[in-house]
Amino acid sequence: MSAYAFLSPKTTFPLPRSFDFAAYIETEREFWALFPETEGKRVNFCQAGLTARVFIEALEDGSELKSDETYFLMPCEDRKMRLVRMHPCRRLTLSEFRMSHLTAIRLKERLAGTGAIMERVHMQVLGPEVIQELDR
């Protein structure tokens, strides 16, 4: 496991029965229209400071993450949330970021039933001692 990954890349979380993967992936595919250079691969974006980047799926070969790679926890066709290894494709302009954010809002609506999964992830990543401090 990478020293820079907060969860093992083999970690999975079952999605709720009500999760509609087809609707989710159709919304995610809107990114393909915005960013054709992603070539139909899984895609996400991430804001870091006051800039943002588009990330596309990278080959998961079990090697150490490269300095520009990361994992995103994403719903997958097998009805599980999995870590998807990704690398940056390019930076976003402000107008592209705004358009991406509108799509992300729809994705968030699709993920509404995954709150319990995210709580488990936060507990694993932060640990009970940090969570206890947050509750004070």
CA–CA dist 16, 13 (Å, integer):
9
Higher-confidence position of 1 and 44: 44
Distance of CA 106 to the CA centre of its chain: 14
pLDDT confidence band for 62 (50 / 70 / 90): confident
pLDDT at 112 over 90: no
Angstrom CA distances, 96 to 85, 93, 103, stand at 23, 5, 11
The mean predicted confidence, pLDDT, of the chain is 91
Give residue-wise pLDDT tens across range 15-57: 999 999 999 999 889 898 899 999 889 999 999 999 999 999 9
- In this structure, the chain runs to a length of 136
Per cent of the chain over pLDDT 70 is 99
pLDDT confidence band for 59 (50 / 70 / 90): very high
Q: Read off the pLDDT of each residue in 91-115 and give the average, rounded to a whole number.
A: 91
Candidates 111, 108, 107, 103; CA nearest to 33 is: 103
CA–CA dist 71, 87 (Å, integer):
9
What ranges do the domains of the chain cover?
Answer: 12-135
